Amino acid sequence: MDERQLRILCELGELGSVTAVADALLVTPSAISQQLRLLQRSMPVPLTERQGRRLVLTDAGQALAGAAIEVESALARARHIVDAYVDRPDGSVSVAAFHSAAATLFPLLLRGLAGPGGPRLALADEDVEQEQFPRLTRDYDLVLAHRLAPAPDWPGTVAVTTLLREPLDVALPAGHPLTALPRLSPADVADQPWITVHDGFPLMATVEAIATAANRRLDIVHRINEFTVVAEAVAAGGGLALMPRWTTRPHPGVVLRPLTGIHARRHIDVLHRPERTARRAVRTVLTELHRAAAAIRDGDASD
């Protein structure tokens, strides 16, 4: 049995004919009769009987119709609770992000949503391989993920909105001879020692593209994922590295130079299960993320 069948049974008890019920519910009499037959098949006793030209409820049918009213009332209360939850502006919203996005966007998000009546944020850092980001949407309302522009799209099981298309620059120690050049090609940097991320993380594809374009294997001496640590290693003369232009803090001992000759850019995307944005609080946080990303891109974000 389902809610619609119970509603038809209640209407039949009041109106006394299939035709009257069909008129009330704006469907055909045959559709009403079919639903009554389906309901009857799930019951061990008759629910209706003929009294002259009228179709009336048996004692069992009346008992079920009475219970159906309670079910309908309970469902109405449940819908009201769900509607209130969905429309609640101060609901809790969980957001996960990889480290550099978290360091840049989380403070802007916290400041932008500060004050009474707004969403209650639950923030977490998640530094995972690229293919693992969609799985995080089971545990978080919104997931900030990164991928290189040529990489395959995210799977269709998640909804995606792009916050930033961020250039990747070459990081050099201050005073390095290559800082005299306004732009660097793969050939310029291929003979230098390199600091890269671990295998499986998005930036490795760009590092490999540098090697391919320069037609030589890079000398990878250190593997560090955290960009604040990378910056310290670059400043200390540990090698060159790729660093995002907008989502890493400037370091006094590090100089960034644009890379030419290859597509050196990454997408910062927000992933979520499609049903999550039915909630008003989640939509509010997503809007604030876009505002913060625009401020970063335009150079207006404050520290």
| DSSP per position, 220-279 | EEEE---HHHHHHHHHTTS-EEEEESSSS---TTEEEEEB-SS--EEEEEEEE-GGGGGS
Three-state SS at 196: strand
pLDDT at 11: 84
Spatial contact of 130 and 146, defined as CB atoms under 8 Å apart? yes
What pLDDT does residue 303 have? 39
Residue segments in the chain with a per-residue pLDDT below the cut of 50: 300-303
Q: What is the predicted pLDDT for the residue at 158? A: 93
Task: Specify whether the CB–CB gap between 173 and 256 falls below 8 A.
Answer: no
Q: Is 2 exposed, middle or buried (0-12, 13-18, 19+ CB in 10 A)?
A: exposed
For 186-206, the pLDDT digits (tens) are 999 999 999 999 887 778 889
What fold does the segment set 3-86 form as a domain? Arc Repressor Mutant, subunit A (1.10.10)
Look at residue 288 in the predicted model and tell me its pLDDT: 95
The CATH code of domain 92-297 reads: 3.40.190.290
Rounded to two decimals, the pTM is 0.70
* Per-residue model confidence (pLDDT) at position 302: 43
Q: What integer pLDDT is reported at residue 240 of this predicted model? A: 97
Distance between CA 235 and CA 227 in Å, rounded?
Answer: 12
Q: Do the beta carbons of residue 119 and residue 93 sit within 8 Å?
A: yes
CB neighbours (10 Å) of residue 176?
A: 16
pLDDT at 112: 93
What's residue 297's pLDDT? 87
Neighbours of 159 (CB within 10 A): 15
Q: Where are the domains of the chain?
A: 3-86, 92-297
